[in-house]
Amino acid sequence: MTEVRFYHLQRTPLEKALPRLLAKALDGGMRAVVLAASEERVEALSAALWTFEQASFLPHGTARDGNPDEQPIYLTTAEENPNGAKLLVLIDGVEPAFLDRFERCADLFDGNDGQAVEAARARWRRLRKGSHSLSYWQQNPQGWEEKG
């Protein structure tokens, strides 16, 4: 059973929220795969992870970098887990068939985009029919709050 957390981004754009989530995962000893919808998005996120904070960076790689098994964070468009990650991060509304290969999944979606919200609701309904544990997190002024 995979624990799936839906993150409703309202106050922070993906490029700011994703690095924070990945930093927490690494701090907890968890490797991650980030699954995006396009190679352009992978490259943009890769650049963002190198520069998200002036004093630090998040170690990561893509297929272009090689050695995927050595990457603590691996950015991809393919349904793969080459670094033995326990966390799968979904962006751009992707809905993979290999969710069961991970302990945890974070589905990040733009709460200011009506189509993205509706698509996330549809993913929630489909996953609810399975054996996954689901939770919903929404941004508020203090940070993240789990909603019922």
| Residue 95: both structure tokens together | 């809905």
CB under 8 Å to 38, separation ≥6 — which residues?
77, 92
pLDDT on residue 132: 92
CB under 8 Å to 53, separation ≥6 — which residues?
19
Rounded to a whole number of angstroms, the CA Rg of the chain reads: 14
CATH tag, 3-147? 3.40.50.10110
Q: Please say if the pLDDT value at position 148 is more than 70.
A: no
- Domain locations along the chain: 3-147
Largest CA distance in the chain: 44
pTM of the model: 0.95
For 96-103, the CB contacts below 8 A with 24+ separation are 96/35, 99/2, 99/4, 99/127, 99/132, 100/2, 102/2, 102/33, 103/2, 103/3
* 10-59 pLDDT, tens digit each: 999 999 999 999 999 999 999 999 999 999 999 999 998 988 887 778 99
The answer to whether residues 36 and 48 touch, using CB atoms and an 8 Å cutoff, is no
The answer to whether residues 79 and 96 touch, using CB atoms and an 8 Å cutoff, is yes
